[in-house]
Structure 1
Amino acid sequence: MPITGVLDTIFKSYDVRGLCPEQLSAPIARRVGAGFARWLATNRLGEKVVLAGDMRPSTPGLIDALADGICEQGLDVVVAGLSSTDQLYFASGWLGLPGIQVTASHNPAQYNGMKMCRAMAAPIGAETGLNEIKALAAQELEPAARRGERTEVATLSAYADHLHSLVPLEEIRPLSVVVDAGNGMAGLTVPEVLGRSALRITPLYFELDGSFPNHPADPLDPANLVDLQRRVRAGAAPLRLAFAGGADPGFVVGERGGPGPASAITALIAERELMRSPGETIVHNVITSKMVPEVVRAAGGTPSRTKVGHSNMKARMAEQNAVFGGEHSAHYYFRDFYFADTGMLAAMHILSALGEQVGPLSELVARYDRYAASGEINSTVDDAERALRAVHEHATGMDAQIDRLDGITAELGDGAWFNVRASNTEPLLRLNVEAADPARMEQLRDELLAVIRR
């Protein structure tokens, strides 16, 4: 396949991701590194890059290839080695450098990828540099007159110090916690971060192994929470944490074995941040529960709604200097963490909140359980635009208030709402529905699925 075809395949809206080495090989990584360096130099965005990566077997070779391409273009490289994704974002802010994390996050073992950021963990997406980097990577760029130098840096201890400065856990009561690292990077970061407290941690799959021998490192899939749920039935601990391969995102699992609702956790952390920083802005995306802006307003904050996607969330937070932001996908963003997402800091907030009460997680989040939600439902369609037009026409006939911030969001007279969005990478429409009770939610869900799949 021509180089442009390969790059078109692996460059997504927010990152680079593909089968390794069939699509994402060392020569391709060298080109991406060179393109990234040339883009930084052309836009005067830095003269040095920090690189890190997860535990996949292909990661060290990709880091070496990226470093080679960057140094060839005259920029220096600082290699931070094994890191969680949020640890790389920390390094970018701590060192004031643009960076690349080599990871495929929750994707299967045969994949790898890259998440890029400007200095201070500022996001890079398709419209903010990724397309330009792809175009440069397609060229055989001339080397710079001076070759850059490669050095190394350790960031884990400083990362843990920073997190504890934001949510101290040293004095927390001795809660029992089971943590499923899924053989991913949480196996490295959890002992360093949560080990500094009186928490009684039961480790599950902490051995770093990018082949994921126990289960895929995707806590979004309920099938991958089965081992944690067994611990629930065994009464091992009142709280469980599950992390993706790159330790992003992090999922909280309650004493009944179900994942803590991301919208409820967003609301809980928002309240905590607003207690510390009254009157600040909280960012949420278009498909979090409408309970979130209700809670934010009641706590004296200002809710700000934006499109789905980490680049959109980070950009909106920086634009409005928001103190916190949360997504339905369990990504949580903090101003004091360079506006970047960190599942570890979110988990620390939950642990701190639990430490302030004697009840379990279910009691902690019960007051945020106001509405019935469908969760995200995907439908394969032949023509996404045509299906969206059909949904828009249907919503108009329902006398709904409609906006097009991200797909189609319609709010109905009884307070129910729905959102339908097209996938950026697949022929899918994604439906989310919320209503006052399960019966109304199910009726509206089925009605809309009939329109979408017709």
Structure 2
Amino acid sequence: MYGELDGTFPNHEANPLEPANLIDLQRAVVQHGADAGLAFDGDADRCFVVDEQGDPVTPSAIAAIVALREIARVRASRPDADITIIHNLITSRFVPEAIAAAGATPVRTRVGHSLIKDEMARTQAVFGGEHSAHYYFREFWGADNGMLASMHVLAEFGSQSRPLSEFSRAFSPYVLSGEINSTVSSVADATARVRAAFATRGTEDSLDGLTITGTVADGEPFWWFSVRPSNTEPLLRLNVEAADRATMERIRDEVLALIRAS
């Protein structure tokens, strides 16, 4: 689609992270009965994937799929190799779970692709994945490459017979809110309100802003959230993940109310 070179991008912005920019692809996938759709940004260092129903596959699921393939590739030639995979702190918790289950070491970083690149070099990681659909490969000089990621996805998808919606579901067991931005008068005050409200309800870390992981007891569903300040604007960015949609929405709404309280 839209193969004509035009730097004004007349059809839509070349930013697949913005949902509105996926609409044409989603419609085309359904209209043509395609098995999948791929959306790249202007320099193809990011790749978003759409399933046969026209629904986006989360970048966290793609990160897990590619990570497992890269782990298997290294293990095939070096069975005892120590393997490190990078992920940022707002990818799904399934990503580090899958990496660890495959016998590799997940390394959690702050958000920002320059930080990922630094960690790729420091740890000699074989792969890195972000929520923003940047995917980094040691075999590509530690840089991000959406084309390589798309080939991994198509190869893995093509090796089995299920539709992409069903295949990818196994890599998305939890429910993510997506990133929600809120303009605040004081980032510090809003963050303090959230911290105080959840002080006894989970464990806290401050790798990048404030992350709270809920204490799972008496059958309470798993959940966590991250509140991070923008580096350039008076914004707080909220990401929530939980075991089910009801829990995600409950935590999301509670945290948003605290952030947006006057």
- TM-score band by shorter chain is over 0.9
Could you tell me how far 1:451 is from its partner in structure 2? 0.6
1:112-143, Cα deviation, whole Å (9 max, x unpaired): xxxxxxxxxxxxxxxxxxxxxxxxxxxxxxxx
Among residues 181, 194, 197, which one is paired with 1:394 in the alignment?
197
How big is the shift at 1:256? 1.0
Query: Identity across aligned pairs (percent)?
Result: 56
Q: Which residue of 2 aligns with 1:403?
A: 205
Q: For residues 158-212 of structure 1, give each alpha carbon's deviation from its aligned partner in whole angstroms, at most 9, with x where no partner exists.
A: xxxxxxxxxxxxxxxxxxxxxxxxxxxxxxxxxxxxxxxxxxxxxx001110111
Give the length in aligned residue pairs.
250
Deviation at 1:241, TM superposition (A): 0.7
Secondary structure at 2:57's aligned position in 1? coil
Match of 1:430 in 2: 237
**Which digits, 9 at most, give the CA deviation of each residue in 1:386-422, with x for residues without a partner?**
2112222222142x11000000011111231110000
Tell me which stretches of 4 or more aligned residues in structure 1 moved more than 6 Å.
Answer: none
SS of 2:13's partner is: coil
What does 1:198-217 align with in structure 2 at a 5 Å threshold? Answer: 204-217=1-14
Provide the C-alpha distance between the structure 2 equivalents of 1:353 and 1:264, rounded to a whole number of angstroms. Answer: 12
Q: In structure 2, what is the Cα distance between the partners aligned to 1:262 and 1:334?
A: 15
**Unaligned 5+ residue runs, structure 2?**
76-81, 217-221
Report Cα offsets for 1:330-354 as digits up to 9, x if no partner.
0101111111111111001011112
State the shift of 1:228 in Å. Answer: 1.1
Cα root mean square deviation, aligned: 1.2
Tell me what 1:253 maps to: 50
Q: Which residue of 2 aligns with 1:268?
A: 65
TM normalised by structure 1 equals 0.54
Contact 2:90–2:226 (8 Å) recurs in 1: yes
- Check if 1:281 corresponds to 2:88: no
Does 2:246 match 1:443? no
Matching of residues 34-53 of structure 1 within 5 Å: none
Q: Name 1:97's counterpart in structure 2.
A: none
CA deviation after TM superposition for structure 1 residue 223, in Å: 1.4
SS in 1 for 2:161: coil
- Following the alignment from structure 2 to structure 1, what is the Cα–Cα distance between the partners of residues 143 and 225? 28
> C-alpha distance in 2, partners of 1:236/1:248?
27
Indicate the SS of the match to 1:277: helix
Is the CA contact 2:45–2:135 (under 8 Å) kept in the aligned structure 1? no
Corresponding position of 1:305? 108
SS where residue 241 of structure 2 aligns?
strand
Report which of the two structures shows the higher radius of gyration computed on alpha carbons.
1
2:144 aligns with 341
Correspondence for 1:222: 19
- How far apart are 1:248 and its partner, in Å? 3.0
Question: Do the aligned partners of 2:15 and 2:42 also contact (CA within 8 Å) in 1?
Answer: yes
Alignment of 1:1-400 (within 5 A): 204-278=1-75, 279-398=82-201, 400=202
Unaligned ranges ≥5, structure 1? 1-203
Distance 1:370 1:218 in 2: 26
Give the secondary-structure state (helix, strand or coil) at the position aligned to 2:11.
coil
